[in-house]
Amino acid sequence: MTANSTKPRILTGDTPTGKLHLGHYVGSVENRLALQDQYECYFLIANKHAFTTRADKPADIRQSVLDIATDWLAVGIDPNRSAMVLQSEVPAIDELTFFFAMLIPFNRVMRNPTLKDEIRDKGLGDNYPFGFPMYLVGQVADILAFRPELVPVGEDQLPHLELTREVARKFDQLYCNVDPKTEDKDYVKAGGLFPVIQPKLGRVKRLVGTGAPGPDGNLLKMSKSLNNAIFLSDDADAVQKKIMGMYTDPKRIRATDPGETSPEKNPLWAFHEVFNPDVKWVDDHRDLYKQGKVGDVAVKKKLVEVINDLIDPIRTRRKHYEARPDDVLDALRQGTKRADAVAEETLALAKKAMKQDYFPRKLGF
Ligand code: ATP
Ligand code: MG
């Protein structure tokens, strides 16, 4: 695949703050795998964004970059079809960030609900760096640098994607003379540089974690940084320990007590509904659980089996790549090079539209 392919593009990615978990799998990875053929795919490891919360842990970020790249290969991302991209090695993204920052009202960033959730859930208080809210602008540039059509993400990303859509419209109106009355789908046809992108949600928009609810009483999203995740790289024992020790219905002391089966309140049932292919088993046991006729232990044991069946083939492929770290780096190098060419082209076109194209430039790679 080349940067000149005629397929529509996809851009999405992960922050290297840890390894991939089940939430990523159902929220975004399944879609990435399904769309690898029809689209020209760019999958970004947002290593600069990892510095927003862990600037003091560069070695961890480095390790996570390699972990995520290994995870991607293990789940079946094909580096020959899809570009695996390292954000920090695509300088055009940063250059676009600065220009885009002028098109986004400051208060609009600070009111972003996902940013607020992250500040609360990650316990950042008032002590987050200037760069933390700035990552929202950076993410707009991550996306628009590739002028993609689709962005497969989990639900928490929708406010960020709305911001991306706003910046695309504003840029196109200001610098490409696109009429503000133009329909979103027609922006490029009307002469705009940036498409007004479409989010693509996964089979599950927001998978909950294995832990207790947050301060607002709702179960927290499964997240790398919240210590509530089952990772695609967990071994069978770790999966067993996490599931057997997971939060369920705190009011249920004995197996004969009627149990809570709402997936919004009890992650045990959220996971069975999402991952257990045996729908009849789930329906039957949900009823039994509700009536106090089956214990947590039996339902958890079944879940251990289900999750290990899902992760087993991923584990096998992961072992293969863990033994070949050079192949993992090569996949990143090759994908980043392709991505850099596309992002450079976007930046050149953006500067031209903004009348800042004084000299041609050539960066090496
Ligand atoms: P962090 O805790 O560092 O923010 P994260 O677990 O939220 O990490 P990200 O790298 O921020 O992971 O997200 C990568 C992608 O996976 C995004 O598209 C996000 O929406 C999706 N995603 C993450 N967690 C979930 C989840 N629990 N359910 C569905 N999708 C998810
Ligand atoms: Mg996140």
DSSP state string for 108-163: HHHT-HHHHHHHHHTT-TT---THHHHHHHHHHHHHHTT--SEEEE-GGGHHHHHH
For 141-196, the pLDDT digits (tens) are 999 999 999 999 999 999 999 999 999 999 999 999 999 999 999 999 999 999 99
Please give the mean pLDDT across all residues of the chain: 95
Ligand 1 contacts CB of residue 336 (under 6 A): no
Q: What percent of the chain has pLDDT over 70?
A: 98
Structure tokens at 107: 């208060």
Ligand 1 contacts CB of residue 17 (under 6 A): yes
Rounded Cα–Cα distance for residues 274 and 267 (Å): 10
DSSP state string for 185-196: GGTTTTT-SS--
pLDDT of residue 363: 67
Best mutation site among 12, 28, 158 for ligand 1 pocket (most ligand atoms within 8 Å of CB): 28
Rounded Cα–Cα distance for residues 309 and 328 (Å): 25
Residue 205 pLDDT greater than 50, yes or no: yes
For 11-23, the pLDDT digits (tens) are 999 999 999 999 9
Ligand 1 contacts CB of residue 15 (under 6 A): yes
pLDDT of residue 360: 81
Q: Which ligand is nearest to the CA of 156?
A: 1
DSSP-derived 3-state class of residue 229: coil
Rounded Cα–Cα distance for residues 361 and 262 (Å): 58
Closest CA to 138 of 91, 174, 172: 91
Average pLDDT over residues 292-302: 97
Rounded Cα–Cα distance for residues 15 and 365 (Å): 23
Phi/psi of residue 56, each to 5°? -85, 5
Which numbered atom of ligand 1 lies nearest the CA of 46? 10
Cα angle 118, 124, 128; round to 5: 100
Which numbered atom of ligand 1 lies nearest the CA of 15? 10
Q: What is the DSSP-derived secondary structure letter of residue 334?
A: H
Cα(223) to ligand 2 centroid in Å equals 7
**Per-residue confidence at 226, pLDDT binned at 50, 70, 90?**
confident
For 112-121, the pLDDT digits (tens) are 999 999 998 8
Counting every residue written for the chain, the total comes to 365
Residue 1 pLDDT greater than 50, yes or no: no
Which numbered atom of ligand 1 lies nearest the CA of 24? 16
**Ligand 1 atom 16: residue of nearest CA:** 24
Cα–chain center distance at 130: 22
Ligand 1 contacts CB of residue 121 (under 6 A): no
pLDDT of residue 182: 98
- Return the axis-axis angle of helices 296-322 and 279-290, rounded to nearest 10°: 140
Rounded Cα–Cα distance for residues 147 and 143 (Å): 7
Phi/psi of residue 244, each to 5°? -65, -25
Residue 336 pLDDT greater than 90, yes or no: yes
**Per-residue confidence at 362, pLDDT binned at 50, 70, 90?**
confident
Closest CA to 330 of 86, 148, 10, 111: 86
Residue 225 pLDDT greater than 90, yes or no: no
CB atoms within 10 A of CB 7: 12
**Per-residue confidence at 365, pLDDT binned at 50, 70, 90?**
low
**Per-residue confidence at 4, pLDDT binned at 50, 70, 90?**
low
Phi/psi of residue 151, each to 5°? -130, 100
Given a contact cutoff of 8 angstroms between Cβ atoms, the answer to whether 25 and 104 are in contact is no
pLDDT of residue 176: 98
Amino acid letter at 204?
V
Please tell me which residue, 329 or 118, carries the higher pLDDT value: 329
**Per-residue confidence at 138, pLDDT binned at 50, 70, 90?**
very high
**Ligand 1 atom 18: residue of nearest CA:** 153
pLDDT of residue 224: 84
Cα(32) to ligand 1 centroid in Å equals 14
Residue 3 pLDDT greater than 80, yes or no: no
The enclosing H or E element of 294 equals none
Residue 74 pLDDT greater than 90, yes or no: yes
DSSP-derived 3-state class of residue 223: coil
